[in-house]
Chain A
Amino acid sequence: MLIVTVAGVRSKSRSAAAPAAEESSAPLRPLEETETYDLPAFKTHRMDLDSLPTSTTASGAQLQEYFESMYRMRRMETKADELYMTGHVRGFCHLYNGQEAVAVGVEAAVTYEDYLITAYRNHCQQLARGDTVEGVLSELTGRVTGCSGGKGGSMHLYKPENRYFGGNGIVGAQGPLGTGLAFAAKYGGTRNIAITMFGDGAANQGQIFEALNMAQLWRLPIIFMCENNRYGMGTSTARAAASGDFYTRGDYAAGLYIDGMNVLSVREGIAYAAERCRTGEGPVYVEMDTYRYKGHSISDQGTGYRTTDEVQSMKASRDPIDQVKTMLIDGGWATLQSLKGVERSLRKQVDAAVEFAKKAPEPPPEHLWKDVLSPSASGESVVRGTLVTTGGKVGTPL
C-alpha cells in the first residue's frame, strides 16, 4: 500500500512496511475504491464494435500499479540510453519511451499462462513478464547476471518460465514463432493464447501474412499485435504501407484498433481480443496506436524524418504515464507530491540497478562454448566448428 509522504520522509514502495507519516494535506482516498472511465473509441474489422466496452472501472490500487510499472520502465529505458552513451551498452539498443502503456496494459489483461513474443524493442516486455531491472540492464551491459547470461544482449531477452519468448532481432521472424506458440496452446488443449507483437514496419513482411493465413485456417488462439508507432526506422507508415489501417490488414481475420497510449484502453481491448481467441474463433489482428519518443535505436536521432513539434505534442497530449498520474490525482488517490515521492523511490531502485549492471561480473571465457547445443544421449555438448570431441585426443578409439 502506498503511504502518503511528506517532505523529508521517504515514501515506500508497495511491498515495504510503512511507518506513520505526518500529513500535510487531507487524507488520500483508499486505494481499493474505484472510478469509471470512458474509453477512447475502438475500431473494429469483422467484429461488432458494439460488443466492445465504452468505459471501464479501475481502482486506485490498479492505477497505482500501472503508474509504477510504467514509470519504472521509463526510467529503465532512460538509464539504458545513458549507459549506451557512456559505452556500457554496445551494439543496438531500441528504447520503448512512450509505448509503456502497451506493455503494462497487455499484462493487466492476460496471465503468464498466455504466451508473449515480440521483436527487439523488448526491454519493457522482459520487465513486464517478471524480470528485474537488474536482470535487464545487466544483460544490456553484457554481464553473466543478465537474463541471457550476457550472450544475447538488448534484442535477446527471454523469460521462459513466464512464457515470454523474446526478444527477436530479425523483423517479422517472430510472427511465425508466435504462431507456433499458439499452435502449442491449441495442441495441448488449453485456453491459453499467444500474443505476437511486431511493428508497423514488420507488418509489411510476407511471413506475417503467411502466419495469419495459417492462424485463421486452423483457428489458432493468437493475437497478432501491431505496435504502430508511425515509423519503421526512418520511413513513415505513409511511405511504407499501402494501407495504414493496420487493424484491417488481416483481411479475412478480425481486427481491432486500440489507443495504445491509454493503459485502460489497452487492457480492455486486449482482454476482449483474448477472450475471443480463447473461444476458438481464431486470430485477432490488433493495431496499437502508439508512439516512440526516441529514435528507432540509439544510433538514430529520431529527428530527420519527423518534426520535434510532433514529438513534443505527443508528449504533451498523450503521454501514457501522465494520463495515469492525472487519473490518480483527480481520483483523489494521490497528489503531485505523493507521486513525486513514488517517482523518487523508483528512480533510486533503477539507479541501484544501473550500478549493479555496471559492476556485475562478465561471463567467464568458457561460456563461449556453452549452450550451442542441448545435452544429448551422445554426450557431446562442446562443439568446435564441425568437430566433436569428448575430451579425448583426435584419433583415439572412442
Chain B
Amino acid sequence: MSKIFMFDALRAATDEEMAKDPTVCVIGEDVGHYGGSYKVTKDLHSKYGDLRVLDTPIAENSFTGMAIGAAITGLRPIVEGMNMSFLLLAFNQISNNAGMLRYTSGGNFTLPLVIRGPGGVGRQLGAEHSQRLEAYFQAIPGLKIVACSTPYNAKGLLKSAIRDNNPVVFFEHVLLYNLQEEIPQEEYFLPLNKVEFVRKGKDITILTYSRMRHHVIQALPALLKEGYDPEVIDLISLKPLDIDSISISVKKTHKVLIVEECMKTAGIGAELIAQINEYLFDELDAPVVRLSSQDIPTPYNGSLEQATVIQPSQIVDSVKSIITSVKAIIT
C-alpha cells in the first residue's frame, strides 16, 4: 500500500492505461506542457509526447467533437474538461454525437471515450466555475456517468472507464484533489455500475456521492454518539443508478436520505426518488428526503457559498428528524 493524493491516483490510472494501450490518448487544455491545471496529467507529456497528450486551443465544442471522431475510428481518447462547466459548450457533441452515434447507426460504432474533469462548488470560485452538471447529463441516453470521491475509487474507476467501450462522463471534484489515502500497489479495477458501501448500518439509508460523501462522513460521529446506525452508500454510478444495491439497503432500513451537491430541482435526487417510488414504495416507512444545494447561482461571498451547499450539521438534523418521525408513527 502507498499513500497517494487523489490527483496522483488519477494520473497513475491514466499512465498505466496509456502504457498498456497505444490507442489511449489525452486531449484537453494545458494537459501537456503545463502538466494539467490540477496536475492529473503531470509529466505524462514527456513520457508520451505531444500527440498522445495533446494541448488544445480553448475550443471545448470542437476538441470534444474531435475526440468523438477519433473514438469512432478506434482510438480511446480521454478528454479533460479543465472545469466540467466548460463542457456545456460541448453539450451538443456529448449529447448528440457521443450519446447517439451507436444507436442511430444501428450498432455500427463503438465509442470508447472518457470525458473527465472537476466540477462542484469550490472555494469562492464564482457561479460559473461552481457548476454541477451531473444531472444535466444524466438524462442523455448512451452515456455512462460516474462520480469518484476517494483516491482509491478514483484510480479503480478511471481505469475501468478507460477500458469501457462506451462514452463515460467521469466527474471529479475541485476540492477533493488533495485527499490522501493508502491504495494497493497491485493493479485493480472498480466496476462502473456499482455503489460503494461506505458504512453498513440498519437505521437509515443515506445515498450520496462525490464531495457530499465526506460531509456525510463528517456527520457520522455526532450521529453515532447518539446511538444512530446509518448505512452510508456512495452512489459512484450516476448513470445507470445501481438500484439493485440500493434496494437491498432500503429493504433493510426502510428510510432514505439523499445528500447531494447538485441543485434540488431536477437533480440526481429527483431521479433517485422517482425510482425508489417505482420499485421500493412498499418498503418505505417515510417519504424519501433529499438534501440538495440551493437552486441559485453560487454566490461569491464565503458564508453565502457555505449556505448554498449542504453542511454536516444539516445532515445530522435530517437523520434525526426522519428517524424520530418514523418512531412516532410506529409507537
Contact = CB atoms under 8 A, between A and B. Distances in A.
A299 B64 CA distance: 33
5 contacts: A148-B104, A173-B65, A176-B93, A377-B164, A397-B248
A186 B50 CA distance: 12
B191 to A, nearest CB: 5
A183 interface: yes
A388 B105 contact: no
B106 A151 contact: yes
Contact of A386 (B51, B63, B160, B271): B271
Contacts of A397: 248
Contact of A181 (B73, B138, B241): B73
A59 to B, nearest CB: 34
Interface in A166-220: 166-170, 173, 175-181, 183-184, 186-187, 206-207, 210-211, 213-214, 217-218
Given A150-B106, A158-B109, A375-B165, A210 B245 contact: no
B25 A187 contact: yes
Nearest to A213: B57
B167 to A, nearest CB: 9
Interface string A144-167: 001111111100101010000111
A176 B62 contact: yes
A205 B74 CA distance: 27
Contacts of B302: none
B247 A394 contact: yes
Interface in B229-282: 237-245, 247-248, 251, 271, 275, 279-280
Interface in B87-130: 92-93, 96-97, 101-112
Contacts of A177: 65-66, 68-69, 72, 97
B142 interface: yes
Contact of B92 (A151, A170, A380): A170
A395 interface: yes
B69 A388 contact: no
A187 B70 contact: yes
Given A386-B239, A395-B280, 18 more contacts: A117-B69, A148-B108, A152-B106, A160-B72, A170-B92, A177-B68, A178-B69, A179-B62, A187-B52, A187-B75, A214-B56, A372-B142, A373-B142, A374-B110, A375-B165, A377-B191, A386-B240, A388-B240
Contacts of B109: 158, 160
In this complex, the member of A167, A184, A397 whose beta carbon has the largest number of chain B beta carbons within 10 angstroms is: A184
Contact of A371 (B107, B193, B242, B245): B107
A238 interface: no
B154 interface: no
Contacts of B279: 394-395
B73 A115 contact: yes
A251 B192 CA distance: 45
SS of A interface (majority): loop
B71 interface: yes
A149 B107 contact: yes
Contact of B165 (A117, A179, A376): A376
A115 B237 CA distance: 35
B184 to A, nearest CB: 19
A396 interface: yes
A115 B74 CA distance: 13
A307 interface: no
Given A152-B106, A371-B106, A392-B244, A165 B62 contact: no
A210 B193 contact: no
Contacts of B248: 395, 397
B278 to A, nearest CB: 9
Contact of B244 (A173, A386, A394): A394
A24 interface: no
A184 B74 contact: yes
Given A148-B106, A149-B107, A180 B240 contact: no
A207 B97 CA distance: 14
Nearest to A157: B105
A370 B110 CA distance: 13
A398 interface: yes
B66 A179 contact: yes
A219 to B, nearest CB: 11
A222 B176 CA distance: 40
A179 B242 contact: no
Nearest to A208: B62
B158 to A, nearest CB: 15
Nearest to B27: A183
Nearest to A163: B73
A168 B142 CA distance: 17
Contacts of A242: none
Nearest to A373: B166
A156 B192 CA distance: 30
A378 interface: yes
B67 to A, nearest CB: 6
A233 interface: no
B61 interface: yes
Contacts of A374: 102, 110-112, 165-166
